[in-house]
């Protein structure tokens, strides 16, 4: 465990606080950073072309604060990049101008990182629902830990499950990931966590180390407002999904998609668009096309590799040419007519990534007799082609002794999410025991134990199973109490006649809601 | 695309702080710490001024402090905020009962039970006020309805058996008391009442009078 003492101040942590026109909340956010028990920090407050905040910064009179005053508003990514360029810390952490850290935030994450060979850690945060008066005063009405998900790289390629405000990572990782993408105007946090996932596992620390605010009514957050433009939002999503940091990637295996349409026409163009739209795993699309066909290609789609083949090249010759150029760890060959939609590839890619059988490939879910397609390793493909140069791929795999089948349900990805969502549905329908069963199945089979125990406890309580509710809530509270788990245990204790214990638990919950455990408010 | 920005579902999430205050107030009231309970209910009322529950809590605390006038005010505020608040009507019934206005108490308990037939406090209050007034027909109806929902509740079974006896339905009373003693053989009150009922039954048989079973 790393500790910060006079003799050993611990590694320097660079704190990034971009801000834009939030004078009302900025002082509390800054105060929460300066109140960290871990003292060895440098705090970059970056005014991104908003109203003057120099008086606020000066009022703290703390040499650890470095104000960057930008004249024009160029966005959060540019603000962060400027501060990162000036920073000297071993680690980087982030705080938005209207959120707060608890005093244990930096110390908790530094301790996690100093004891870990990876370079990224994140904690849990309260989402603090509040009513906002006209003068900006906030009244907290609920504090929920809504996201407490263990790191899942495959999921990270689809969506973000790590809050930026809860993230700390080694600064030198920027050399691998690159800096923040200034062409994005939303989800720059997901873009960065996704890129970090190419190189590191993330350590999930269950402690709650801060809170981010969510107004009950219309949210004024820039990121929320910008999401309303669906076209722009989609552009950002696709930009992020197709982002590929420079190789080598230590944690992600690359995917090559060899697209061999029977003819280059509108249908082929649509298929190409669908590949771009629906593939979440990092990939490169190989186009083994003739010069005439390539000349028809008019697209700015990223991650396309043109592989020129001679006029009259057959399907298999095209596959061979693309495979020779392909540097990926997994390959799929897409013929004309294959249906490409959500999860079209990942349902088969995931089992291939997880199988211990080196002689097993997976047919795609939408593969048919007329449009057969599978995902395999380059070794599989080489063996299939060597088994019979004139054989079709399916026969070639068979001749090479490689099994190829569609994945079973239990082999598909996101099984945790399936079980969790089943629990949520049961919960919403009042089937509390069914919900509890689903949450426990999710935890037992796929992890996220603490989160699932908290939900199970409340479902058990609603089902009238008081002792089970107390048991699950107690287990959660011993590890990491939240307002919800404290309340669930309290209601269980009250129902079993132990009002004094219930009072103790509810008073703790009330103190958290009132912010009494934070020292700067 | 982003789990970290999921939209909140409206509903229970957004009343968490209010709920904690009400529950804490209820616990304090249960253990008799009325000043702590009052503080919680007042904070809850500040947070959600249009909800009846905090005023019901304040009314209960006033009753515990034998401050009937303020209890009545609090329950009436609760009813004004939420006319179908069964607990508020029940509380008003309790306040009337303390003032020995049994007719008003009975009326308020009945309004409470019309909204929530499951309200045991109102049911028992209705039983007590009915005993005071000697009118049993409506309370018997609610006690029977309650037992349909909670068969085996020996406290309510005993009350109903008492009312059956007072109403002259001796055989019904006898059967119910025997059921109570099967469920709770050590229930001395039920055993004593059964003895009384059976005495009356034998007197009725001896005198040749029928019962209104």
CATH code of residue A483: 1.25.40.10
Q: Do A491 and B16 touch (CB under 8 A)?
A: no
Domain endpoint, select from A212, A241, A270: A241
Measured distance between the N- and C-terminal CA atoms of chain B, rounded to whole angstroms: 70
d(CA A469, CA A493): 9
Chain B residues close to A163, C-beta within 8 Å: 4
Same-domain check for residues A400 and A427: no
Predicted TM-score (pTM) of this structure = 0.88
Task: Note whether B4 and A162 are within 8 A (CB).
Answer: yes
Cβ neighbour number for residue B78 with a 10 Å cutoff: 25
pLDDT recorded at residue A284: 97
Question: A227 and A84: one domain?
Answer: yes
**Residues in chain A whose Cβ is within 8 Å of chain B:** 127, 129, 139-144, 146-147, 149, 158-164, 187, 189-190, 214, 216, 223-224, 227, 237, 483-484, 487, 490-491, 494, 499-500, 502-503, 506-507, 509-510, 513
Of residues A143, A163, A494, nearest to B4 (C-beta): A163
Say if A521 falls within a structural domain.
Answer: no
Identify whether residues A215 and A277 lie together within a single domain.
no
CA distance B160 to chain A (A): 26
Domain with residue A396: its CATH number is: 3.90.550.10
Q: Does an H or E element contain A462, and which?
A: helix A449-462
List the domain range (segments joined by +) for residue A431: 415-513
Q: Do both A36 and A117 map to the same domain?
A: yes
Judge whether A210 lies within some domain: yes
Separation CA A326–CA A307 (nearest Å): 10
Indicate if A43 and A171 belong to the same structural domain. yes
How many CB contacts within 8 angstroms connect chain A with chain B?
90
Cα–Cα separations (whole angstroms), residue B208 to A145, B167, B173, B188: 74, 19, 19, 30
A443 & A400 share domain: no
Q: How far apart are CA A211 and CA A99, in angstroms?
A: 6
**CA separation for the pair B55, B81 (Å, rounded):** 9
- pLDDT given at position A223: 61
Same domain, A36 and A161: yes
The chain A residue lying nearest B22, using CA atoms, is A506
- Domain co-membership, A227 together with A137: yes
What does the alpha-carbon distance between residue A435 and residue A430 come to, in Å, rounded to a whole number? 9
Query: ipTM of this model?
Result: 0.88
Q: Number of structural domains, chain A?
A: 3
CB-CB neighbors (< 8 A) of A149 in chain B = 3
Q: Do residues A343 and A469 both lie within one domain?
A: no
Residue of B nearest to A505 (CA): B24
Is the distance from CB of A202 to CB of A196 less than 8 angstroms? yes
Q: Output the six-digit token pair for A10.
A: 């611990």
Q: Do A60 and A127 fall into the same domain?
A: yes
Query: What does the alpha-carbon distance between residue A44 and residue A42 come to, in Å, rounded to a whole number?
Result: 7
Instruction: State whether A487 and B30 contact (CB < 8 Å).
Output: no
Residues of chain B where predicted confidence (pLDDT) is lower than 70:
1-13, 208-213
Spans of chain A, pLDDT less than 70? 1-7, 218-228, 517-521
Longest dimension (CA), chain B: 86
Inter-chain touch A144–B19, beta carbons under 8 Å: no
Residue A402 corresponds to which tokens in the numbers above?
Answer: 């490689």
Q: Calculate helix-pair angle for B53-64, B68-81, nearest 10 degrees.
A: 170
CA-based nearest residue in chain B for residue A493: B27
Are A393 and A491 in the same domain? no
Q: Are residues A407 and A422 both part of a single domain? A: no
A375 phi and psi, to 5 degrees? -115, 135
Scan for tokens 């009545």, then name that residue. B72
Contact between B152 and B182 under an 8 Å Cβ cutoff? The reply is no
Closest CB to A141: pick one of B6, B15, B31: B15
Collect all residues of chain B within an 8 Å Cβ-Cβ radius of residue A510. Answer: 17, 20-21, 24
Question: B91 with B75: CB under 8 angstroms?
Answer: yes
User: Which residue of chain B is at minimal alpha-carbon distance from A504?
Assistant: B24
For an interface test with B, give the residue of A509, A512, A514, A516 to mutate (most B CBs within 10 A).
Answer: A509
- What's residue B150's pLDDT? 87
Last residue of a domain, one of A363, A385, A411: A411
CB contact under 8 Å between A237 and B13, yes or no, is: no
Give residue limits of the domains in chain B. 151-213
Would you say residue A34 lies in a domain?
A: yes
What local confidence, expressed as pLDDT, does residue B145 receive?
87
Which residues 53-112 on chain B approach chain A with CB closer than 8 angstroms?
A: none
User: Quick one: closest CA in A to B13, which residue?
Assistant: A142
DSSP secondary structure, A30-68, as one string: HHHHHT-S---EEEEEEEES-S--HHHHHHH--TTEEEE
> Which residues, numbered 2 to 41 in chain B, qualify as contacts with chain A under a Cβ-Cβ cut-off of 8 Å?
2-6, 8, 13-21, 23-24, 26-28, 30-31
Query: What pLDDT shows up at residue A118?
Result: 87
In our burial notation (b when 16+ CB lie closer than 10 A, e otherwise), range A142-169 reads bbbbbbbbbbbebbbbbbbbbbbbbbbb
Of residues B92, B84, B143, the one with CA closest to residue B115: B84
Going by C-beta distance under 8 Å and a sequence separation of 6 or more, which residues neighbour residue A282?
Answer: A157, A198, A244, A249, A252, A254, A255
- CA distance, residue A164 to nearest chain B CA (Å): 9
């Amino acid at each position: 465990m790393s500790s910060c003492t006079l003799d050993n101040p611990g590694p320097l942590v660079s704190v990034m606080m971009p801000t834009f026109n939030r004078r009302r909340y900025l002082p509390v956010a800054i105060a929460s950073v300066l109140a960290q028990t871990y003292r060895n920090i440098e705090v970059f407050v970056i005014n991104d072309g908003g109203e003057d905040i120099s008086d606020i910064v000066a009022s703290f009179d703390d040499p650890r604060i470095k104000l960057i005053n930008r004249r024009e508003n160029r966005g959060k990514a540019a603000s962060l990049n400027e501060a990162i360029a000036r920073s000297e810390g071993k680690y980087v952490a982030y705080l938005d101008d209207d959120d707060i850290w608890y005093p244990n935030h930096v110390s908790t994450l530094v301790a996690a990182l100093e004891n870990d060979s990876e370079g990224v850690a994140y904690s849990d945060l309260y989402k603090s629902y509040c009513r906002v008066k006209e003068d900006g005063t906030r009244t907290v009405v609920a504090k929920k830990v809504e996201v407490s998900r263990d790191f899942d790289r495959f999921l990270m390629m689809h969506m973000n499950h790590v809050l930026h405000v809860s993230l700390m990572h080694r600064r030198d990782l920027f050399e691998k990931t690159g800096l923040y993408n200034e062409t994005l105007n939303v989800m720059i946090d997901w873009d960065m966590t996704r890129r970090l996932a190419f190189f590191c596992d993330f350590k999930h620390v269950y402690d709650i180390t801060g809170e981010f605010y969510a107004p009950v009514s219309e949210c004024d957050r820039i990121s929320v407002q910008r999401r309303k433009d669906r076209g722009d939002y989609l552009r950002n999503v696709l930009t992020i999904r197709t982002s590929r940091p420079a190789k080598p990637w230590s944690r992600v295996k690359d995917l090559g998609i060899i697209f061999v349409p029977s003819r280059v026409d509108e249908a082929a163009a649509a298929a190409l668009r669908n590949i771009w739209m629906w593939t979440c795993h990092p990939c490169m699309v190989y186009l083994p096309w003739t010069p005439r066909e390539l000349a028809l290609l008019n697209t700015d789609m990223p991650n396309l590799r043109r592989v020129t083949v001679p006029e009259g090249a057959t399907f298999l010759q095209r596959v061979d040419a693309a495979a020779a150029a392909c540097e990926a760890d997994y390959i799929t060959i897409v013929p004309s007519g294959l249906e490409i939609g959500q999860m079209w590839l990942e349902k088969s890619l995931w089992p291939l990534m997880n199988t211990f059988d080196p002689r097993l490939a997976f047919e795609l879910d939408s593969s048919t007799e007329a449009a057969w397609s599978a995902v395999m390793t380059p070794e599989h493909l080489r063996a299939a082609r060597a088994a019979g140069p004139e054989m079709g791929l399916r026969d070639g795999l068979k001749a090479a002794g490689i099994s190829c089948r569609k994945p079973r349900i239990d082999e598909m990805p996101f099984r945790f999410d399936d079980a969790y969502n089943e629990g949520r549905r049961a919960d919403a329908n009042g089937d509390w025991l069914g919900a509890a069963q689903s949450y426990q199945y999710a935890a037992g089979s796929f992890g996220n134990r603490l989160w699932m125990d908290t939900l199970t406890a409340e479902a058990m309580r609603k089902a009238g199973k008081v002792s089970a509710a107390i048991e699950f809530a107690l287990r959660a509270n011993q590890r990491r109490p939240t307002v919800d788990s404290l309340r669930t245990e309290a209601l269980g204790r009250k129902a079993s006649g132990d009002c004094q214990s219930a009072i103790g638990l509810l008073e703790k919950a009330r103190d958290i809601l009132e912010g009494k455990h934070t020292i700067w408010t | 695309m982003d789990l970290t920005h999921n939209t909140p579902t409206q509903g229970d999430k957004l009343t968490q702080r209010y709920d904690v205050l009400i529950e804490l107030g209820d616990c304090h009231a249960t253990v008799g710490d009325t000043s702590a309970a009052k503080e919680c209910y007042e904070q809850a009322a500040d947070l959600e001024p249009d909800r009846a529950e905090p005023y019901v809590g304040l009314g209960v605390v006033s009753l515990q402090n034998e401050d009937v006038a303020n209890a009545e005010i609090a329950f009436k505020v609760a009813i004004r905020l939420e006319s179908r608040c069964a607990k508020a009507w029940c509380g008003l019934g309790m306040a009337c009962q303390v003032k020995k206005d049994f007719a008003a108490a009975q009326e308020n308990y009945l309004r409470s039970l019309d909204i929530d037939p499951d309200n045991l406090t109102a049911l028992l209050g209705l039983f007590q006020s009915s005993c005071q007034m000697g009118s049993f027909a409506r309370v018997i109806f609610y006690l029977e309805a309650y037992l349909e929902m909670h068969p085996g509740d020996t406290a309510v079974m005993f009350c109903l058996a008492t009312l059956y006896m007072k109403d002259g339905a001796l055989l019904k009373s006898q059967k119910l008391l025997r059921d109570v003693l099967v469920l709770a053989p050590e229930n001395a009150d039920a055993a004593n009442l059964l003895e009384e009922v059976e005495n009356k039954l034998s007197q009725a048989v001896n005198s040749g009078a029928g019962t209104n079973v």
